[in-house]
Amino acid sequence: MILVTGGAGFIGSNFVLRWCAHTDEKVLNLDALTYAGNLANLQSLNGSEQYQFVQGNIGDASLLTRLFAEHHPRAVVHFAAESHVDRSIAGPEAFVETNVVGTFRLLEAARSYWNKLEGAAKTAFRFLHVSTDEVYGTLGVSDPAFTEITAYAPNSPYSASKAASDHLVRSYFHTYGMPVLTTNCSNNYGPFHFPEKLIPLMIVNALAGKALPVYGDGQQIRDWLYVEDHCSGIRRVLEAGVCGQTYNIGGWNEKTNIDIVHTLCSLLDEMAPAAQRGVINQQSGKPVLQYAELITYVTDRPGHDRRYAIDARKIERELGWKPTETFETGIRKTVEWYLNNQQWVAGVIDGSYRDWVAKQYETGKQ
Protein backbone atom coordinates (compact mmCIF):
# COMPACT_ATOMS: atom_id res chain seq x y z
CA MET A 1 0.00 0.00 0.00
CA ILE A 2 0.99 3.61 -0.60
CA LEU A 3 -0.26 6.62 1.37
CA VAL A 4 -1.23 9.61 -0.77
CA THR A 5 -1.88 12.97 0.89
CA GLY A 6 -4.13 15.44 -0.89
CA GLY A 7 -5.44 12.76 -3.20
CA ALA A 8 -8.79 14.48 -3.74
CA GLY A 9 -7.21 17.60 -5.23
CA PHE A 10 -6.45 18.26 -8.86
CA ILE A 11 -3.06 16.56 -9.29
CA GLY A 12 -3.59 14.13 -6.42
CA SER A 13 -6.84 12.74 -7.78
CA ASN A 14 -5.35 12.31 -11.24
CA PHE A 15 -2.43 10.49 -9.62
CA VAL A 16 -4.72 8.15 -7.65
CA LEU A 17 -6.82 7.37 -10.73
CA ARG A 18 -3.76 6.66 -12.89
CA TRP A 19 -2.11 4.65 -10.11
CA CYS A 20 -5.14 2.39 -9.86
CA ALA A 21 -5.22 2.04 -13.63
CA HIS A 22 -1.54 1.08 -13.86
CA THR A 23 -1.08 -1.13 -10.80
CA ASP A 24 -2.96 -3.41 -8.41
CA GLU A 25 -1.28 -1.86 -5.36
CA LYS A 26 -3.66 -0.36 -2.81
CA VAL A 27 -3.93 3.38 -2.16
CA LEU A 28 -4.86 5.12 1.08
CA ASN A 29 -5.94 8.68 0.33
CA LEU A 30 -5.73 11.23 3.17
CA ASP A 31 -7.35 14.55 2.32
CA ALA A 32 -8.78 17.36 4.45
CA LEU A 33 -11.35 18.21 1.75
CA THR A 34 -10.75 21.93 1.76
CA TYR A 35 -12.36 24.00 -1.02
CA ALA A 36 -10.17 22.38 -3.70
CA GLY A 37 -10.61 18.78 -2.54
CA ASN A 38 -13.42 17.02 -4.38
CA LEU A 39 -14.36 13.37 -3.90
CA ALA A 40 -16.39 13.54 -7.11
CA ASN A 41 -13.01 13.36 -8.89
CA LEU A 42 -12.65 9.82 -7.57
CA GLN A 43 -16.19 8.52 -7.85
CA SER A 44 -15.09 5.91 -10.41
CA LEU A 45 -13.22 4.19 -7.55
CA ASN A 46 -16.27 3.92 -5.30
CA GLY A 47 -16.53 0.35 -4.07
CA SER A 48 -12.99 -0.53 -5.18
CA GLU A 49 -11.06 -2.73 -2.76
CA GLN A 50 -7.89 -1.11 -4.07
CA TYR A 51 -8.80 2.37 -2.82
CA GLN A 52 -9.57 3.76 0.64
CA PHE A 53 -10.30 7.35 1.66
CA VAL A 54 -9.74 8.98 5.05
CA GLN A 55 -10.78 12.57 5.68
CA GLY A 56 -8.18 14.28 7.82
CA ASN A 57 -5.46 16.90 8.01
CA ILE A 58 -1.73 16.30 7.62
CA GLY A 59 -1.30 18.55 10.66
CA ASP A 60 -3.08 15.98 12.85
CA ALA A 61 -0.13 14.11 14.37
CA SER A 62 -2.21 11.51 16.21
CA LEU A 63 -4.17 10.66 13.07
CA LEU A 64 -0.95 10.28 11.09
CA THR A 65 0.54 7.98 13.73
CA ARG A 66 -2.58 5.81 13.66
CA LEU A 67 -2.69 5.58 9.87
CA PHE A 68 0.96 4.52 9.63
CA ALA A 69 0.46 1.91 12.36
CA GLU A 70 -2.72 0.47 10.86
CA HIS A 71 -1.91 0.48 7.16
CA HIS A 72 1.87 0.02 6.98
CA PRO A 73 2.44 2.00 3.77
CA ARG A 74 5.60 1.23 1.84
CA ALA A 75 5.65 4.80 0.48
CA VAL A 76 4.19 8.26 1.01
CA VAL A 77 3.37 10.50 -1.97
CA HIS A 78 2.80 13.97 -0.53
CA PHE A 79 0.58 16.25 -2.62
CA ALA A 80 -1.39 17.94 0.19
CA ALA A 81 -0.81 21.69 -0.01
CA GLU A 82 -2.40 25.07 -0.30
CA SER A 83 -1.43 25.96 -3.84
CA HIS A 84 -3.06 29.10 -5.23
CA VAL A 85 -0.81 32.19 -5.30
CA ASP A 86 -3.70 34.65 -5.19
CA ARG A 87 -5.12 32.99 -2.08
CA SER A 88 -1.69 33.08 -0.45
CA ILE A 89 -1.53 36.83 -0.97
CA ALA A 90 -4.97 37.30 0.59
CA GLY A 91 -4.41 34.86 3.46
CA PRO A 92 -0.85 33.54 3.91
CA GLU A 93 -1.34 31.90 7.31
CA ALA A 94 -3.15 28.85 5.91
CA PHE A 95 -0.20 28.28 3.58
CA VAL A 96 2.28 28.27 6.44
CA GLU A 97 0.05 25.95 8.48
CA THR A 98 -0.49 23.38 5.71
CA ASN A 99 2.65 23.58 3.62
CA VAL A 100 5.21 24.09 6.39
CA VAL A 101 3.74 22.82 9.66
CA GLY A 102 1.70 20.10 7.96
CA THR A 103 4.69 18.82 6.00
CA PHE A 104 6.79 18.85 9.19
CA ARG A 105 4.24 16.74 11.05
CA LEU A 106 3.94 14.32 8.15
CA LEU A 107 7.71 13.98 8.03
CA GLU A 108 7.84 13.34 11.77
CA ALA A 109 5.15 10.67 11.59
CA ALA A 110 6.85 9.04 8.60
CA ARG A 111 10.25 9.14 10.32
CA SER A 112 8.90 7.51 13.47
CA TYR A 113 7.26 4.80 11.38
CA TRP A 114 10.35 4.28 9.19
CA ASN A 115 12.64 3.99 12.21
CA LYS A 116 10.62 1.01 13.42
CA LEU A 117 10.81 -0.83 10.10
CA GLU A 118 13.39 -3.56 9.64
CA GLY A 119 15.25 -5.20 6.80
CA ALA A 120 13.84 -4.99 3.28
CA ALA A 121 10.78 -2.97 4.38
CA LYS A 122 13.00 -0.23 5.81
CA THR A 123 15.26 -0.21 2.77
CA ALA A 124 12.34 -0.01 0.35
CA PHE A 125 10.41 2.77 2.10
CA ARG A 126 10.14 6.10 0.26
CA PHE A 127 8.78 9.58 1.05
CA LEU A 128 8.10 11.51 -2.17
CA HIS A 129 7.42 15.22 -1.77
CA VAL A 130 5.66 16.97 -4.66
CA SER A 131 6.70 20.60 -5.06
CA THR A 132 6.68 23.39 -7.63
CA ASP A 133 8.94 25.36 -9.94
CA GLU A 134 7.79 28.55 -8.20
CA VAL A 135 10.34 27.99 -5.42
CA TYR A 136 13.05 29.04 -7.88
CA GLY A 137 11.64 32.54 -8.35
CA THR A 138 11.35 34.30 -11.68
CA LEU A 139 13.34 34.31 -14.93
CA GLY A 140 14.05 36.84 -17.63
CA VAL A 141 12.94 36.02 -21.16
CA SER A 142 16.44 34.88 -22.20
CA ASP A 143 17.54 33.28 -18.91
CA PRO A 144 18.30 29.54 -18.87
CA ALA A 145 15.55 27.32 -17.45
CA PHE A 146 15.46 26.19 -13.83
CA THR A 147 17.59 23.15 -13.01
CA GLU A 148 17.65 21.08 -9.84
CA ILE A 149 20.55 23.19 -8.52
CA THR A 150 19.02 26.60 -9.24
CA ALA A 151 19.10 28.74 -6.09
CA TYR A 152 15.75 29.17 -4.36
CA ALA A 153 14.22 32.66 -4.57
CA PRO A 154 10.47 32.40 -3.81
CA ASN A 155 8.47 35.56 -4.41
CA SER A 156 5.00 34.81 -2.99
CA PRO A 157 3.77 33.46 0.35
CA TYR A 158 2.75 30.30 -1.53
CA SER A 159 6.15 29.69 -3.09
CA ALA A 160 7.93 30.63 0.14
CA SER A 161 5.88 28.06 2.06
CA LYS A 162 6.65 25.39 -0.55
CA ALA A 163 10.34 26.31 -0.45
CA ALA A 164 10.30 25.86 3.32
CA SER A 165 8.71 22.43 2.94
CA ASP A 166 11.33 21.46 0.35
CA HIS A 167 14.10 22.41 2.76
CA LEU A 168 12.50 20.40 5.56
CA VAL A 169 12.29 17.32 3.33
CA ARG A 170 15.92 17.73 2.28
CA SER A 171 17.01 18.10 5.91
CA TYR A 172 15.37 14.82 6.90
CA PHE A 173 17.54 13.01 4.36
CA HIS A 174 20.79 14.69 5.39
CA THR A 175 20.12 14.64 9.14
CA TYR A 176 18.25 11.39 9.66
CA GLY A 177 19.03 9.44 6.51
CA MET A 178 15.32 9.22 5.72
CA PRO A 179 14.74 7.99 2.13
CA VAL A 180 13.12 11.08 0.61
CA LEU A 181 12.59 12.22 -2.98
CA THR A 182 11.47 15.65 -4.20
CA THR A 183 9.88 16.60 -7.50
CA ASN A 184 9.44 20.18 -8.71
CA CYS A 185 6.90 20.49 -11.49
CA SER A 186 5.83 23.22 -13.88
CA ASN A 187 2.25 24.46 -14.35
CA ASN A 188 -0.16 21.52 -14.61
CA TYR A 189 -3.37 21.46 -16.62
CA GLY A 190 -5.96 18.83 -17.45
CA PRO A 191 -9.07 17.13 -16.02
CA PHE A 192 -10.43 17.98 -12.55
CA HIS A 193 -8.59 21.31 -12.34
CA PHE A 194 -10.38 23.60 -9.89
CA PRO A 195 -11.62 26.59 -11.90
CA GLU A 196 -9.71 29.34 -10.15
CA LYS A 197 -6.53 28.60 -12.15
CA LEU A 198 -5.95 30.10 -15.59
CA ILE A 199 -6.99 27.35 -18.01
CA PRO A 200 -10.17 26.05 -16.34
CA LEU A 201 -11.20 29.58 -15.36
CA MET A 202 -11.03 30.71 -18.99
CA ILE A 203 -13.03 27.70 -20.21
CA VAL A 204 -15.74 28.05 -17.57
CA ASN A 205 -16.03 31.83 -17.93
CA ALA A 206 -16.10 31.72 -21.73
CA LEU A 207 -18.95 29.21 -21.84
CA ALA A 208 -20.89 31.42 -19.40
CA GLY A 209 -20.24 34.63 -21.36
CA LYS A 210 -18.22 36.09 -18.50
CA ALA A 211 -15.07 38.20 -18.77
CA LEU A 212 -11.82 36.33 -19.38
CA PRO A 213 -9.54 38.15 -16.89
CA VAL A 214 -5.89 38.46 -17.94
CA TYR A 215 -3.42 39.90 -15.45
CA GLY A 216 -1.33 42.88 -16.59
CA ASP A 217 -0.18 42.60 -20.20
CA GLY A 218 -0.62 38.82 -20.33
CA GLN A 219 3.01 38.26 -21.27
CA GLN A 220 3.86 36.13 -18.22
CA ILE A 221 5.47 32.90 -19.40
CA ARG A 222 4.89 29.45 -17.91
CA ASP A 223 5.95 25.93 -18.84
CA TRP A 224 2.80 23.81 -19.18
CA LEU A 225 2.67 20.13 -18.20
CA TYR A 226 -0.31 17.86 -18.87
CA VAL A 227 -1.34 16.41 -15.52
CA GLU A 228 -1.23 12.76 -16.62
CA ASP A 229 2.36 13.27 -17.79
CA HIS A 230 3.17 14.72 -14.37
CA CYS A 231 1.64 11.67 -12.70
CA SER A 232 3.68 9.29 -14.85
CA GLY A 233 6.81 11.25 -13.94
CA ILE A 234 6.05 10.93 -10.24
CA ARG A 235 5.49 7.18 -10.61
CA ARG A 236 8.86 6.90 -12.33
CA VAL A 237 10.67 8.89 -9.60
CA LEU A 238 9.02 6.77 -6.91
CA GLU A 239 10.10 3.63 -8.73
CA ALA A 240 13.68 4.50 -9.60
CA GLY A 241 14.69 7.87 -8.14
CA VAL A 242 17.84 8.14 -6.02
CA CYS A 243 17.09 8.98 -2.38
CA GLY A 244 17.92 12.55 -1.42
CA GLN A 245 17.67 13.73 -5.03
CA THR A 246 15.41 16.31 -6.64
CA TYR A 247 13.88 15.82 -10.09
CA ASN A 248 12.35 18.63 -12.14
CA ILE A 249 9.29 17.50 -14.11
CA GLY A 250 8.38 19.81 -16.99
CA GLY A 251 6.43 19.78 -20.22
CA TRP A 252 8.88 21.62 -22.51
CA ASN A 253 5.97 23.95 -23.37
CA GLU A 254 6.67 27.61 -22.61
CA LYS A 255 3.67 29.80 -23.41
CA THR A 256 2.57 33.31 -22.49
CA ASN A 257 -0.67 33.63 -20.57
CA ILE A 258 -2.31 35.62 -23.34
CA ASP A 259 -1.33 32.96 -25.91
CA ILE A 260 -2.96 30.34 -23.69
CA VAL A 261 -6.15 32.38 -23.54
CA HIS A 262 -6.26 32.88 -27.32
CA THR A 263 -5.62 29.16 -27.87
CA LEU A 264 -8.53 28.29 -25.58
CA CYS A 265 -10.79 30.77 -27.33
CA SER A 266 -9.93 29.27 -30.72
CA LEU A 267 -10.57 25.72 -29.52
CA LEU A 268 -13.90 26.72 -27.99
CA ASP A 269 -14.85 28.55 -31.21
CA GLU A 270 -14.24 25.26 -33.00
CA MET A 271 -15.67 22.78 -30.48
CA ALA A 272 -18.45 24.77 -28.82
CA PRO A 273 -19.35 27.76 -31.03
CA ALA A 274 -20.82 30.60 -29.00
CA ALA A 275 -23.57 31.30 -31.53
CA GLN A 276 -24.79 27.70 -31.42
CA ARG A 277 -24.80 27.73 -27.62
CA GLY A 278 -26.50 31.11 -27.43
CA VAL A 279 -23.75 32.60 -25.28
CA ILE A 280 -24.49 36.15 -24.13
CA ASN A 281 -21.77 38.59 -23.10
CA GLN A 282 -22.57 39.18 -19.42
CA GLN A 283 -21.03 42.65 -19.56
CA SER A 284 -22.64 44.04 -22.73
CA GLY A 285 -25.75 41.86 -22.95
CA LYS A 286 -24.98 41.14 -26.62
CA PRO A 287 -24.54 37.71 -28.25
CA VAL A 288 -20.95 36.46 -28.31
CA LEU A 289 -19.68 35.74 -31.81
CA GLN A 290 -16.13 34.71 -30.87
CA TYR A 291 -14.94 33.96 -27.36
CA ALA A 292 -11.91 36.26 -27.68
CA GLU A 293 -14.36 39.17 -27.40
CA LEU A 294 -14.54 38.36 -23.68
CA ILE A 295 -10.83 38.92 -22.98
CA THR A 296 -10.47 41.62 -20.31
CA TYR A 297 -7.15 42.91 -18.96
CA VAL A 298 -7.13 43.44 -15.19
CA THR A 299 -4.63 44.93 -12.77
CA ASP A 300 -1.63 42.67 -12.29
CA ARG A 301 -1.30 40.86 -8.99
CA PRO A 302 1.43 41.90 -6.52
CA GLY A 303 4.86 40.32 -7.08
CA HIS A 304 3.73 38.46 -10.21
CA ASP A 305 6.66 36.35 -11.48
CA ARG A 306 7.37 37.01 -15.14
CA ARG A 307 8.61 33.63 -16.32
CA TYR A 308 9.03 30.05 -15.14
CA ALA A 309 10.79 27.42 -17.21
CA ILE A 310 11.80 23.88 -16.26
CA ASP A 311 14.88 22.10 -17.53
CA ALA A 312 13.71 18.48 -17.34
CA ARG A 313 16.83 16.85 -18.80
CA LYS A 314 17.89 15.18 -15.54
CA ILE A 315 14.79 13.00 -15.20
CA GLU A 316 15.03 12.05 -18.87
CA ARG A 317 18.75 11.30 -18.68
CA GLU A 318 18.74 9.39 -15.39
CA LEU A 319 15.27 7.83 -15.27
CA GLY A 320 14.27 7.70 -18.92
CA TRP A 321 11.13 9.81 -18.47
CA LYS A 322 9.78 12.50 -20.74
CA PRO A 323 6.27 13.85 -21.39
CA THR A 324 4.15 12.18 -24.04
CA GLU A 325 1.70 15.04 -24.65
CA THR A 326 2.50 18.14 -26.64
CA PHE A 327 0.70 21.28 -25.55
CA GLU A 328 -1.48 21.03 -28.64
CA THR A 329 -2.66 17.50 -27.85
CA GLY A 330 -2.99 18.09 -24.12
CA ILE A 331 -4.94 21.33 -24.33
CA ARG A 332 -7.41 19.81 -26.80
CA LYS A 333 -7.99 16.87 -24.43
CA THR A 334 -8.50 19.34 -21.60
CA VAL A 335 -11.11 21.43 -23.43
CA GLU A 336 -12.92 18.24 -24.49
CA TRP A 337 -12.97 17.05 -20.88
CA TYR A 338 -14.53 20.26 -19.59
CA LEU A 339 -17.12 20.27 -22.37
CA ASN A 340 -18.02 16.65 -21.58
CA ASN A 341 -18.10 17.12 -17.80
CA GLN A 342 -20.36 20.11 -17.28
CA GLN A 343 -22.04 18.38 -14.33
CA TRP A 344 -18.70 18.22 -12.51
CA VAL A 345 -18.10 21.90 -13.26
CA ALA A 346 -21.55 22.84 -11.97
CA GLY A 347 -20.92 20.92 -8.76
CA VAL A 348 -17.68 22.79 -8.15
CA ILE A 349 -18.96 26.28 -8.84
CA ASP A 350 -20.82 27.08 -5.62
CA GLY A 351 -21.38 30.44 -3.93
CA SER A 352 -17.99 30.63 -2.26
CA TYR A 353 -16.21 30.04 -5.56
CA ARG A 354 -18.19 32.80 -7.30
CA ASP A 355 -17.45 35.19 -4.43
CA TRP A 356 -13.74 34.40 -4.72
CA VAL A 357 -13.59 34.97 -8.48
CA ALA A 358 -15.54 38.23 -8.15
CA LYS A 359 -13.17 39.46 -5.48
CA GLN A 360 -10.05 38.55 -7.42
CA TYR A 361 -10.87 39.44 -11.00
CA GLU A 362 -13.96 41.59 -11.44
CA THR A 363 -12.54 44.62 -9.68
CA GLY A 364 -9.58 46.75 -10.66
CA LYS A 365 -10.07 46.40 -14.41
CA GLN A 366 -7.72 48.45 -16.54
Q: Going by DSSP bridges, is the β-strand pair 221-226/254-256 parallel, antiparallel, or unpaired? A: antiparallel
C-alpha to C-alpha distance for 225 and 252, rounded to whole angstroms: 8
Q: Which residues are catalytic?
A: 133-134, 158
pLDDT attached to residue 198:
94
CB atoms within 10 A of CB 342: 11
Per-residue pLDDT band at 302 (split at 50, 70, 90): confident
pLDDT above 80: residue 354:
no
pLDDT attached to residue 286:
97
C-alpha to C-alpha distance for 313 and 316, rounded to whole angstroms: 5
Per-residue pLDDT band at 361 (split at 50, 70, 90): low
Per-residue pLDDT band at 58 (split at 50, 70, 90): very high
Mean pLDDT of the chain: 94
pLDDT attached to residue 347:
85
Q: Amino acid identity, residue 329?
A: T
Looking at CATH, the fold of the domain delimited by 2-190+225-251+306-324 is given as Rossmann fold (3.40.50)
Residues 75-134 pLDDT 10s: 999 999 998 888 899 999 999 999 999 999 999 999 999 999 999 999 999 999 999 999
Per-residue pLDDT, averaged over 203-232, amounts to: 97
Residues 262-287 pLDDT 10s: 999 999 999 999 999 999 999 999 99
Every domain of the chain and the residues it spans: 2-190+225-251+306-324
Sign of the alpha-carbon dihedral angle for 140, 231, 239, 317: negative
Contact 169, 127 (CB under 8 A): yes
Q: Amino acid identity, residue 11?
A: I
pLDDT attached to residue 366:
40
pLDDT above 60: residue 228:
yes
Question: Rounded to whole angstroms, what are the CA distances from 348 to 6, 99, 148, 189, 205?
Answer: 17, 24, 35, 17, 13
C-alpha to C-alpha distance for 122 and 105, rounded to whole angstroms: 20
Residues 6+ apart with CB under 8 A from 291: 206, 212, 264, 265, 268, 269, 274, 279
